[in-house]
Structure 1
Amino acid sequence: MYLKHLNILNYKNISQADPEFCEGINCFVGANGAGKTNLLDTIYYLSFCKSFFNSIDSQNINHEEDFFVIQGTFERNEHEEQIYVALKRNKKKQFKRNKKEYNKLSEHIGLLPLVMISPSDERLITEGSDQRRKYVDSVVSQYNKLYLEQLIRYNRALMQRNALLKKHDQLNPGLIAQLDVWDEQLATLGEDIYRHRSQFIEQLVPVFRELYSHISGGNETVDITYVSHYQGGDIMEMLRNNRSRDLILGYTTHGIHKDDLSLMLSGRPVKKEGSQGQKKSFLIALKLAQYEFLSKHNGFAPILLLDDVFDKLDLERGNRLIQLVGEERFRQIFITDTQKERLEGIVRQTGKNNRFFEVREGVINRKNAEMEH
């Protein structure tokens, strides 16, 4: 699968652009704030029906305009896919595949698998467990439609249970009967979600360790451990036993919505012990393991977006990363960087087809056509 052509109108600081891309490596060079990351975000949007950076859709419209449009032409399994998204202020978003609008956006997730590596990934290490759950959910949802449906149903049931807890100030027979209904749904759906998450982590971790070892030169060991209430016994019993506490707090304290990942570097939390380069290597290895996982499950390579990945990596780690992405398993890659010469040298090492684009104040121009072969 690869992206052939993109058409953008009024997305963030990009007023209009219609670049054509090659299989191989597509590079975007420009100063910070020029619009390189915004361009990657439009590609992400076509895959996930939302921005990687801003969940409030209207804030992605160029502030001087009333709408944005993104259109992409992809080749997927030897068939062309036309994807269209448009948003007008105060209107419902339109999302179409081959001119037919989706009934539910969740139907689109997984059609165009994609992995993005960005400086904002550091939130996976530095912020709370919700970031790590979102990461797991975004990956599993790309290849497992049932998981996404179960997750949506679980979150609805959780909202209903929390609404009940906030509405009442003491347990009574009527409230207990209602909680019984929601607890059973949470426990049943949560068990399936827990199983899918466990299987994903179990398959991801060995590949992640191998990739980190390659990038770091084998100097450190890493590990990821899945942590869940489901590992501690009967979840229905936990939900019942904690009702009084939940009532005081006004929310549900047990369930898969509290799951987390323990991220370790040489036996210590990477959040506390890792240098900037080690943390970046950790996250890159994690995302490349995700890429491998999706490739295996889909039977074809996802698109890979690399946003400013060479910053904070020393030369050796950067060179090892390029050795990896230069392999045939990576079919199409999009890279941003502020330094053209550095990126040209890096890309040359891979031997892959490539195109360079200069990005300046939201304007995208093709450069160096001679570097394509």
Structure 2
Amino acid sequence: MYLQHLSVINFKNYAEAELAFSDGVNVFTGNNGAGKTNLLDAIHYLSLCKSYFNTIDSQQIKQGTDFFIINGTFERNDAHETVACSVKRNQKKLFRRNKKDYPRLADHIGLFPLVMVSPYDVSIIMEGSEERRKFVDNVISQTDNRYLDELITYNKILSNRNALLKSIAETGRFDPGLLEVLDEQLVASGTRIFEKRKDFMESFTGIFNQYYQFLTDDVEKVAMVYESQLLHEGFAALLNKSTGKDRVLERTTTGIHRDDLLFSIHQMPLKKFGSQGQQKSFLIALKLAQYSYLQQQKGFKPLLLLDDIFDKLDEHRITKLMQLVSNHEFGQVFITDTSAGRVTQIFNRINVAFKLFDVQQGEVSPI
């Protein structure tokens, strides 16, 4: 699978742009703020129905206009498929595949899988557990749309249970039967999510370790461990034990919404003891493992988007990474960088063909 053609109208800092891509490596170069990352985000929209950086669609509309449109043409299995996304202020987002509207946007997720690597990914390491759960959920959702439905169901039940706990605290009226019903629903949904996450991590961790070892020549020892309360005790028992605490705190304190990934380097927390280069290598290995996992599950190669990838990496790791993503294991790749000269030197050194685009203040043209 690869993206042949992209066009945008009134998207972020672009009034209009139309591009044709190589099925191999495509590179956008230009100064910071020129709009390189915005092109990657447009591609992200086509795959996952949303921006990678900002969940508010209306904020992606170019200033002074009322709408944006993104169109793309993919080739997959020797067939062409069109995807279109349009957003108009104060109206519902429209998404079409082959000129047909989707009943639900969730039905599109996973059809055109994509992996993005961005400087913003450092939040996976530095921020709270929600960021790491979102990473896991994003990967699984691109391979199983029922999982996405299950997440929506779980969060609705969790919200209802928390609302009931607040109501009990405010009114003093406690209906154990109603709480029991919500508990049963939460256990059923949460257990299904837990099993899916556990199975995913069992296969994903090994893939991640292979990529990190490759990028660092196996001189650094890192670990990624899935942590869940449900690994130690059944969900129903956990909820039963925490009922008193939950009533005091007016929220549900146990469940898969507390899951986390523990990252370490040389048996020490990566967040505190990893250098910027080590953290970036960790994140890149994480995303390459995501790519490999998606490819295994889908049976074809996703898109790979690398935003500002060369910052904080030494020359040796940059070369190894470019050699890796340019070989036959990976498909179409999109890269942004501020220096056309640096990119040209890297790819000439490893003898890999690429298509170069110059980006200047919302204007883009092939070089």
TM-score range, shorter chain: over 0.9
Offset at residue 42 of structure 1 (A): 0.5
The alignment-based identity, stated in percent, is 48
Q: What's the counterpart of residue 188 of structure 1?
A: 188
Offset at residue 144 of structure 1 (A): 1.0
Q: What's the counterpart of residue 17 of structure 1?
A: 17
Q: What's the counterpart of residue 323 of structure 1?
A: 323
- Are residues 175 and 350 of structure 1, via their aligned partners in 2, closer, same or farther at CA, if it must alter by over 3 Å? farther
Q: Distance in 1 between matches of 2:223 and 2:39?
A: 33
User: Match of 2:155, SS?
Assistant: helix
Offset at residue 167 of structure 1 (A): 2.1
Contact 1:183 1:239 in 2 (8 A): yes
How high is the TM-score relative to the length of structure 1?
Answer: 0.96
Offset at residue 240 of structure 1 (A): 2.2
Q: What's the counterpart of residue 214 of structure 1?
A: 214
Amino acid at match of 1:131: E
User: Match of 2:175, SS?
Assistant: helix
Q: Tell me how large the CA RMSD over aligned residues is.
A: 1.3
Aligned length: 367
Q: What's the counterpart of residue 310 of structure 1?
A: 310
Q: What's the counterpart of residue 370 of structure 1?
A: none
Offset at residue 76 of structure 1 (A): 1.6
Q: How does 1:97-176 map to 2 (within 5 A)?
A: 97-169=97-169, 175-176=175-176
Contact 2:229 2:256 in 1 (8 A): yes
Larger mean CA deviation between 162-171 and 38-47 belongs to 162-171
Offset at residue 247 of structure 1 (A): 2.3
Q: Distance in 1 between matches of 2:58 and 2:170?
A: 41
Offset at residue 242 of structure 1 (A): 1.6
Amino acid at match of 1:339: S
Contact 2:168 2:174 in 1 (8 A): no
Structure 2: give runs of 5+ residues left out of the alignment. Answer: none
Larger mean CA deviation between 167-176 and 240-249 belongs to 167-176
- Are residues 63 and 248 of structure 1, via their aligned partners in 2, closer, same or farther at CA, if it must alter by over 3 Å? farther
How high is the TM-score relative to the length of structure 2?
Answer: 0.97
Q: What's the counterpart of residue 347 of structure 1?
A: 347
Q: Distance in 2 between matches of 1:289 and 1:266?
A: 20
Measured against aligned partners, the alpha-carbon deviations of 1:77-99 in whole angstroms (never above 9, x if no partner) come to 22211000101000000001111
Offset at residue 239 of structure 1 (A): 1.3
Q: Distance in 2 between matches of 1:2 and 1:350?
A: 23
Measured against aligned partners, the alpha-carbon deviations of 1:274-310 in whole angstroms (never above 9, x if no partner) come to 1111000000001001111111111111000000111
User: Match of 1:31, SS?
Assistant: coil
Q: What's the counterpart of residue 265 of structure 1?
A: 265
Contact 1:209 1:221 in 2 (8 A): no
Q: Distance in 2 between matches of 1:52 and 1:182?
A: 33
Amino acid at match of 1:111: L
Q: Distance in 1 between matches of 2:188 and 2:99?
A: 38
User: Match of 2:330, SS?
Assistant: coil
Measured against aligned partners, the alpha-carbon deviations of 1:114-167 in whole angstroms (never above 9, x if no partner) come to 000000000000000000000000000001122111111111111111111222
Amino acid at match of 2:200: F
Offset at residue 30 of structure 1 (A): 0.6
User: Match of 2:63, SS?
Assistant: coil
Offset at residue 188 of structure 1 (A): 1.1
Offset at residue 75 of structure 1 (A): 0.7
